[in-house]
Amino acid sequence: MQIEKLMKKTPHIVFICCSVFLLIHIGFTLIYNFDSNTENTIIKRAVRRYMLPVFSQNNKVFAPDPPLYKQQLLVRYYNVRKGWTGWIDPGKNLLDITYGNRFSIAAVQHKVHDYVLGQVYDTYYSVDTTISDSIKNNYFIHDARCIMAQHYFSDMAMKENSHPYFHKLQYKICLIYPEKFSNKTAAEIKSTTTELLFPEMNFIPRNVQGY
């Protein structure tokens, strides 16, 4: 009798579970696409981590023209004794891992990296170009999107078992423009690079995950 009752209730339980999941998905989708506030709240971090791996496409599938340049987000770290490290390209490392294994967690991590890149890119071009560098840098240091990148890169370094204690970090965006209308092979195509440099920020010596 109990089994029969359970069998009768099963369709209702499945329906309720599917409905709850659908409502959560719709809610997360609306927040992700229409909420422009970038404060590092728990809800927004949960939304980003749910949407980015599978459901984020940034409308690239509808782009009528190929991109005119390639974007890279690089970072370097500063230690009082050893000075600055070289510039590190986490995006390339994550792509290399993804190409080797399409089911690797690196695919999700690369989407997060692209999201951070897009946020700081928008921040850079939201600032008035006529203001002084000191005012501009002060704006970047206190902007929520740049603070998100600070947390992101600090957390990335903290996950490395062999890293020294860092005191500062700095990141930049590289825009790489290949030759237009070139009939050369990929290896022969020349390119020019524009760098968008952000100010130095304090390294956060704890696992923050504020992005």
What does the H/E/C string look like for the chain?
CHHHHHHHHHHHHHHHHHHHHHHHHHHHHHHHHHCCCCCCCHHHHHHHHHHHHHCCCCCHHHCCCCCCCEEEEEEEEEECCCEECCCECHHHHHHHHHHHCCCCCHHHHHHHHHHHHHHHHHHHHCCCCCCCHHHHHHHHHHCHHHHHHHHHHHHHHHCCCCCCCCCEEEEEEEEEEECCCCCCCHHHCCEEEEEEECCCEECCCCCCCCC
User: What is the predicted pLDDT for the residue at 160?
Assistant: 78
Distance CA 7, CA 40 (A): 44
Sign of CA dihedral 194, 174, 38, 150: negative
pLDDT at 174 over 90: yes
HSE on the CB side for 107, CA within 13 Å?
A: 10
Encoded amino acid at 82, one letter: K
pLDDT digits (tens, 9 = 90+) for 43-96: 766 776 666 656 665 555 555 556 667 899 999 999 998 899 999 999 998 888
* Size of the chain, expressed as the number of residues it contains: 211
Q: What is the mean pLDDT of the chain?
A: 80
Q: In the numeric block, which tokens belong to residue 134?
A: 């000191």
pLDDT at 103 over 90: no
Sign of CA dihedral 105, 119, 44, 161: positive
Encoded amino acid at 34, one letter: F
pTM of the model: 0.68
Q: Looking at residues 183-187, what average pLDDT do you find?
A: 71
pLDDT digits (tens, 9 = 90+) for 3-27: 666 566 677 777 788 888 888 878 7
